[in-house]
Structure 1
Amino acid sequence: MKIIIRILMLALLLQSFQCEDDVLPTNITPEQLDAKKTEITDYINSFSCANSSGCNSIAFGAKPCGGPREYLVFSNDIDLPTLQQMVNEYNNLDDAYNIQINAISDCAIVNPPTNIGCVDGVCTIID
């Protein structure tokens, strides 16, 4: 009897760790990715900064080997949960597109920017 209870408990525990599958389109086009990126950059550009401490960055895109393609910089005045949701949607689409076309990449690590500044009210990566 104890074995049956343990098996049932184990089965319930394993079911609780199942992930929900996000349904992604199966025929993603480069134009869809471009349109989504434009939507995100337009949203970011609708906010201005007053000084360098008012800027931040977010990982953007999905390289086939893993990691972001680039980093976008934005003003801290932005609604961060909205931006994160938009970027997560894009990253998931980009990842699905990579799988769809069997993409490969150089697998180089793209590091976050170390020097971000506010130039004429726009957050900018300064090299």
Structure 2
Amino acid sequence: MKLIKISPIIALSTLLFGCQSNDFNPESKISTITDAETKLQKAIEDKSCDASYQCRVISYGERACGGPSRFDIYSIKTSKQEDIEFLATEITSFEQAYNQKNKAFSSCEHNPAPQTLCLNKKCEVIKRE
């Protein structure tokens, strides 16, 4: 039996290149709503998918009348769901605090969540008629 020697550096680099890169660090400081929104947009910018089950909708923010202020779509193929949910919760907390402090008011109309599908290997919103 012939043994093949593999350099530890080659073995380690092979393992590292196989890992999904995600620049988001939940421990990093989020001191403003702008910080949270910027991190969220960066975390969901790649909407690549192989199948529709990978496409998700996240609701976040807080309208003064209740309910989320906005929705975004993302792919669990390229984003960690836990990170997206964490950032959405942070944004919602900032908006809740703002609304309470400023006695804000808003429209009370119902905004339904969008639906999404994987079309041409990208998560897309389905247009409602």
Match of 2:66 in 1: 66
Q: Distance in 1 between matches of 2:106 and 2:83?
A: 29
Q: CA deviation at 1:106?
A: 0.8
Moved over 4 A (4+): none
Match of 1:34 in 2: 34
* Superposed CA offset, 1:23-64 (max 9, x none): xxxxx9xxx433421220111114522233320111111100
What does residue range 10-89 of structure 1 map to in structure 2 within 5 Å? 32-46=32-46, 48-77=48-77, 78-89=79-90
Unpaired runs of 5+ residues, structure 1, are: 1-27
* The structure with more helix, counted as a fraction of residues: 1
TM-score normalised by structure 2 residue count: 0.64
Unpaired runs of 5+ residues, structure 2, are: 1-30
Which residue type is aligned with residue 113 of structure 2? P
Q: Distance in 1 between matches of 2:47 and 2:71?
A: 17
Q: Distance in 2 between matches of 1:47 and 1:87?
A: 17
TM-score normalised by structure 1 residue count: 0.65
Q: Distance in 2 between matches of 1:124 and 1:101?
A: 36
Paired residues, number: 96
Q: Distance in 1 between matches of 2:38 and 2:85?
A: 15
